[in-house]
Amino acid sequence: MHRFVVILDRLKAGFNVPKIFRSAEIFGAHEIHLIDIGPFDPAAAKGALKRVPAYFHSDFDVCYQGLVERGYTLYILETDADQALWNTELPDKSAFIFGHLL
């Protein structure tokens, strides 16, 4: 079973965060980690917050260490990446990072 998680790193709280929860639920995300993201209106999530666990972190390092200790491999998703995601063999535990890492 593939257990992937989503990491939202310093996205603007009102900038589609609740909608990302809906997409994560549809695609079967195991959990979502929010790094330095303030309060947001959960109404647009349409209940996905009840089905996809959310973990809030003040910095990336704590999130990173916790996921690595649990066996996750992290991937930064960038439009100009050297390798396309669909050409990548993913491990059972993958974490996809969206946002402003570094």
> CATH no. for residue 23?
3.40.1280.10
Residue 24 has a pLDDT of 95
Domain count, the chain: 1
* Cα–Cα separations (whole angstroms), residue 71 to 2, 55, 94: 12, 17, 9
Residue 20 has a pLDDT of 93
pTM confidence score:
0.89
Domain of residue 79: give its range.
Answer: 3-99
Based on its alpha-carbon atoms, the radius of gyration of the chain, rounded to whole angstroms, reads 13
Residue 101 has a pLDDT of 61
